[in-house]
Amino acid sequence: MLFAIGTKVQFRYTGESGVVTALLDEGMLQVRLDNDPDMEIPAFEEDLISEGEAGLTAAKPKSVPNNKPSPPPKRELKASYHILKPKGLQLAFEPMPGRDGTVSQYNGWLINDTPLEFLFELDLYTGTRDIFTADGKLPAVSAQELGILRSDDLNDLPEVFFSVQRVSTEGAELLRESVIRIRPKQFFNNLQTVPVVNFPAYRFLLLGFDEISGQTTPAKEDLAEYTRQNIRTPRHRATGNSAPFKAFNVEEFASFEPEIDLHIEKLIRGFARLDKGEILRIQMFHFQGFLDKAIRLGVPRVFVIHGVGEGKLRETIAARLREHPQVARFKNEFHHKYGYGATEVIFR
């Protein structure tokens, strides 16, 4: 179906409605949302239906076609016994043999064999794709299914970004973060029977129980020493030409806002008299300063808010990020807070 500018449309799977404002490349359209006129987002033609069709399907705006069944829900398991010596938070990969007995994929699990609850975010990825992501609450002595790792992914040296907050009666405590690179030889040397799920799997320790249970908020006079001991290291391996990693200013890190809004009205006054080229130069100047500071402080990830618009600023930022040696990856995907108007940057 061909849509023209000004056509009233409805998103096939969410039921949201809007108006086509531009025809993009590769079968995509730009749609201004009715419930948020300031928001324009790109969409594939096949994900939209016209106003006439929408009237026929309005009763079931979120229905999924029969030829695209919903994936089974992720499993969550709880141990029915007490674990005497908890190991901590672990990432495990369960071998999934095919009919011929060979293993070409592994089912990922996040294991918590401690008596504590956590809020977590986990992202497994390679340089070319996201393998799986998950976040939420991880109950005490439980396991949560994450997704599938393919054998071929191991050749691309996947990395795991993991952040966690311990949940207590006083709320969520200090955020901890770590990054682990998985190498094939290391992977296949870690086959163990994993607690809670009780089956053999390739296991990686994300955060040990001794470190978790001894984790307390430091007194102010010890804050600098605490940070030096606990801050994450850079996500790249040091080489002979690498500069040594230095502990950053603790107060500066604590006050750093991991997002920047590059809309010109947020950056300077009197922008109305500037042409597009001057505006772009100012935006990129602020972007570069923000990027340099985030890297200097050791921040693991940031969001760069550029809006949708014509896409020139987004493309210029992407070109700069592709060339930056400290950027592990970046993505411009739909985000519940920013829509398609921001790029997430993850550092090495």
Per the rule left: phi > 0, alpha: psi between -120 and 50, beta: everything else, 280 is alpha
**50 and 104 in one domain?**
no
pLDDT at 171: 67
Segment 309-314 mean pLDDT: 88
Name beta bridge partners: 29: 23, 43
Burial (0-12, 13-18, 19+ Cβ within 10 Å), 30:
buried
Query: Taking CA 332 as the corner, what is the angle to CA 315 and CA 13, rounded to the nearest 5 degrees?
Result: 130
Residue 70 domain-assigned (yes or no): no
On whether both 39 and 164 belong to a single domain, the answer is no
Give yes or no: residues 142 and 270 share one domain.
no
Q: Are residues 278 and 218 in the same domain?
A: no
The residue to which tokens 């790029």 are assigned: 343
Instruction: Compute the average pLDDT of residues 322-348.
Output: 87
Taking only the tens place, the pLDDT of each residue in 110-132 is 999 999 999 999 999 988 888 99
pLDDT above 90: percentage of residues in the chain: 25
Find the helix or strand (DSSP H, E) in which 277 lies: helix 276-297
- Residue 99 Cα distances to 93, 170, 343, angstroms: 19, 50, 42
Query: CA Rg, the chain, in Å?
Result: 24
- Same domain flag for 140 and 201: yes
Judge if 134 and 203 occupy the same domain: yes
Name the β-bridge partners of 92: 109, 203
In a domain, 246, yes or no: no
Is residue 153 located within the same domain as residue 108? yes
**What was the pLDDT predicted at 243?**
37
**Closest CA relative to residue 218, chosen from 245, 258, 180, 254:** 254
Position with higher pLDDT, 95 vs 214:
95
First to last CA, the chain: 43
- Residue 120 has a CB neighbour count (10 Å cut-off) of 20
Predicted pLDDT of residue 203: 92
Mean pLDDT of 59-80: 59
- The better pLDDT of the pair 11, 142 is held by 142
Residue 343 shares a structural domain with residue 276: yes
The structure tokens 């190991």 sit at: 87
Does residue 235 lie in a domain region? no
The one-letter amino acid code at 26 reads: E
Whether 68 is in a domain gets the answer no
- Across the range 236-251, mean pLDDT stands at 44
Quick: pLDDT tens for 211-236.
877 644 443 334 444 444 444 444 44
Looking at the structure, tell me whether residues 49 and 173 fall in a common domain.
no
- At residue 35, the pLDDT reads 78
Can you give the CATH number for the domain in which 315 is found? 3.30.1370.110
| pLDDT at 292 > cutoff 80 | yes
Between CA 1 and CA 75 the distance in angstroms is 39
Q: Is residue 131 part of a domain?
A: yes
Check if the beta carbon of residue 182 is closer than 8 Å to that of residue 167: no
- The answer for 141, left when phi > 0, alpha when psi is -120 to 50, beta otherwise, is left
Domain extent at residue 49: 8-57
Between CA 301 and CA 258 the distance in angstroms is 7
Confidence at residue 228, expressed as pLDDT on a 0 to 100 scale: 44
Q: Is the pLDDT of residue 53 over 70?
A: no
The number of folded domains in the chain is 3
**Long-range pairs of 27-33 with CB within 8 A, sequence gap ≥ 24:** 29/3, 30/308
Rounded Cα distance, 232 and 175, in Å? 11
Residue 237 within any structural domain of the chain: no
- Same domain as 115, residue 25: no
Q: Is the pLDDT of residue 262 over 60?
A: yes
Mark whether 269 and 338 lie in a shared domain: yes
Is 171 contained in some domain?
yes
Query: What does the mean pLDDT of the chain come to?
Result: 79
Domain containing 176 — which CATH number? 2.60.40.1600
- 120 and 198, same domain (yes or no): yes
User: Does 111 reside within a domain?
Assistant: yes
Whether 325 contacts 212, CB under 8 Å = no
Token pair of 247 as six digits = 């502990």
